[in-house]
Structure 1
Amino acid sequence: MIVKLLLMNMLVILQHQMEWIMLLMNKLVILQHQMNWIMLMLHVVEKRRMEMRLRYGTQMNMEAWLGSIKMKNMKIVREEGTSFPYILIS
């Protein structure tokens, strides 16, 4: 009888340990998904930074190319919703 109770207690303990292991595995899966989201966000941010550098470089090249035009005809404009100013020639 005592042996039977001990075995049942051991089974209950093993069951709880298995539940803990499953919870830890679920946490690892959640962490993996969070890492994937973080990597995706970093990728988006880096892509935007590259676009900013390309756009800024294009603007600087344009200013050099249009150097012969009088500066009074040029003004830098920033529209609402854009993150970069651009050159407007009037």
Structure 2
Amino acid sequence: MRDASDPKHLIHEAYRIDGIDASQCRSIFVDWALSLSDPDPFPHLRLLLARHGDTHPDHPMTKVLREGLETPPAKGRRGGRAGRL
């Protein structure tokens, strides 16, 4: 079954890993963000928190998802010459 909010089931699987830590969750989060086809991750973050956060409030992935909601996305690309100026 295709899930637009978790297309590779990375977030779902992170909640199933015993002993996972925050740094591993952040790595999974980056992979998840890159796998989204929607350029706006916020609705997906809200849905995933509603799906997993209430039943796993102390899980490190819940914390990472909440941090993702609180952190605004970077505006524009700053690589190349513009990033060095």
Do both proteins adopt the same fold according to a TM-score greater than 0.5, normalized to the shorter chain?
Answer: no
When normalised by structure 1's length, the TM-score is: 0.29
Bigger helix fraction: 1
More relative contact order in 1 or in 2 (CA 8 Å, sep 6+)?
2
Which has a greater percent of strand?
1
Larger Rg: 1
